[in-house]
Chains A and B, each alone.
Chain A
Amino acid sequence: MRLEPVNNPSFGRKLVPPALALSATIVIASLLAMIAGANPFSVLGLIIKGAFGSKFALLETLNRATPLIFTGLAVAVAFRAKFWNIGAEAQLYAGALITVLLGTGALAWPSGLILPVIALIAVFAGAILLLVPALLKTRFGVDEVVTTLLFNFIFLLFISMLLEGPLKDPMGMGWPKSARLIPEARLPRIVDGLRLHWGFALAIISALCVWLIQTRSTLGYEMRAVGLNKQAAGFAGIPVNLVLVKTALLSGGLAALGGFSEVAGLKGSLTLDLSPGFGYTGIIVAMLALLNPLGVVIAALFVAGIFVGADSMSRAADVPTYLADIMQAISLLLMVLAIMLTRFRVVRD
Chain B
Amino acid sequence: MDIIEILFTASFWAAAIRIASPLIFATLGELICERAGVLNLGIEGIMVSGAFAGWMAVYSGTGLWIGVGVAMAVGMLFGLLHSTLTVPFGLSQHVVGLGVTLLATSSTYYAYRLALPEVTSPPKIVAFQPYEIPLLSDIPLLGPALFSQTPLTYLAFVLVAVVGLVLYRTPLGLAVRAAGENPAAVASQGLSVTAIRMGAVIIGSGLMAVGGAFLTMSAFDSFFFEMVNGRGWICIALVVFGSWRPGKAMLGAVLFAAFDALQIRVQQTSLGAQVPYQIFLMMPYILSILALVVTSRRAEVPAALMVPFNKGER
Contact = CB atoms under 8 A, between A and B. Distances in A.
Interface of A: 1-4, 32, 35-36, 84, 86, 136, 140-143, 145-147, 149-151, 153-154, 157-158, 160-161, 164-165, 280, 283-284, 287, 320, 322-323, 325-326, 328-330, 332-333, 336-337, 340, 347, 349
Contact of B103 (A84, A147, A329): A329
**B contact patch SS:** helix
10 contacts: A145-B94, A150-B288, A157-B278, A158-B282, A161-B279, A284-B99, A320-B110, A322-B107, A325-B106, A349-B311
A170 to B, nearest CB: 18
A283 B101 CA distance: 13
B97 to A, nearest CB: 9
Given A326-B103, A336-B91, 10 more contacts: A3-B310, A140-B293, A141-B299, A146-B233, A151-B289, A160-B278, A164-B278, A323-B110, A325-B105, A347-B312
A291 to B, nearest CB: 11
B85 interface: yes
B285 A142 contact: no
Interface of B: 39, 41, 81, 85, 88-92, 94-96, 98-100, 102-103, 105-107, 109-110, 113-114, 230, 233-234, 236-237, 240, 276, 278-279, 281-282, 285-286, 288-289, 292-293, 296-297, 299, 310-312
Q: Closest 3 CB pairs between A and B?
A: A325-B106, A329-B103, A320-B113
**A contact patch SS:** helix
Nearest to B88: A1
Contacts of B296: 140-143
A254 B308 CA distance: 31
A158 B283 CA distance: 11
Contact of B110 (A32, A143, A150, A154): A32
B34 to A, nearest CB: 11
Contacts of B289: 136, 142, 146-147, 150-151
A320 B28 CA distance: 34
A280 B98 contact: yes
B240 A146 contact: yes
